[in-house]
Amino acid sequence: MTPLERFKKFLSSQNLRMTDERLLVLDEVLAGSGHFTVSDLIARVQAKSESMGRSTVYRLIPLMLQAGLIFEVSIREGRGEQVYEKSDTPRHHDHLSCEICGAVIEFEEDAIHDLEAKIAKRHGYRLCRHVHHLRGICSSCQENLITEAVGARGGSFKTL
């Protein structure tokens, strides 16, 4: 069953209707590659259909969430907008980032995935995805902390 068919099924199961606008937005979501923001989506959709209203797109978001076509990415970029992700995107959410300079390293550790699977199973969950952030201080920022006269920041970060 394609995502589109699935969504149509979802709509009719909820007594909701399929419309040209929804189809267009949906196409755009499925065509896109991974993460997106509502304003991204609006821009892309409006490029194809000038008249598309912002609220139509906003109103479609909770439906796509419910239907499982997309999900919320838990990190918002800055103060800004919610980021969403197509639900068939591969799930690589393991990163290690620096609290100070923001540098991000992505990592992949099978042993951790195995443990995650074990934990989910232990609690009877079927695992869909995972978000795993490690945050610390990268080596160059550690050096800066030592060199800095102040030292105020250094002392304030706990080591796990």
Partner DNA sequence: TTTAATGCAAACGATTTGCAGCGAA
Partner DNA sequence: TTCGCTGCAAATCGTTTGCATTAAA
Name the site residues for a copy of itself (rule: CB under 8 A).
1, 3, 6, 9-10, 13, 66-69, 71, 74-76, 79, 82, 87-88, 91, 96, 98-99, 105, 107, 109, 111-113, 115-117, 119-120, 123-139, 142, 150-153, 155-160
CB of 27 to a copy of itself, least distance (A): 17
Tokens of 158: 């706990």
- Interface size with DNA, residues (CB under 7 A): 26
Q: How far apart are CA 83 and CA 71, in angstroms?
A: 9
Residue among 4, 11, 103, 120 that touches DNA (CB under 7 A):
11
Task: Find, among 42, 65, 45, 64, the residue nearest to 54 by Cα.
Answer: 42
CB of 56 to a copy of itself, least distance (A): 18
CB of 49 to a copy of itself, least distance (A): 26
Task: Find, among 45, 54, 131, the residue nearest to 95 by Cα.
Answer: 131
Tokens of 64: 């796509």
Rank residues 10 and 136 by Cβ distance to DNA and give the closer one.
10
Q: Quick check: 58 binds DNA (CB under 7 A)?
A: yes
Alpha carbon 90 to its chain centroid, in Å, reads: 11
Beta-carbon contacts of 16 under 8 Å, excluding residues fewer than 6 positions away, are 63
**One-letter amino acid of 109:** E
Q: Quick check: 20 binds DNA (CB under 7 A)?
A: yes
Element of type H or E holding 153: helix 152-156
Alpha carbon 120 to its chain centroid, in Å, reads: 20
CB of 59 to DNA, least distance (A): 5
CB of 75 to DNA, least distance (A): 13
Question: Using CB under 7 A as the criterion, which residues of the chain lie in contact with DNA when the complex forms?
Answer: 11, 15-22, 37-39, 51-56, 58-61, 79-82
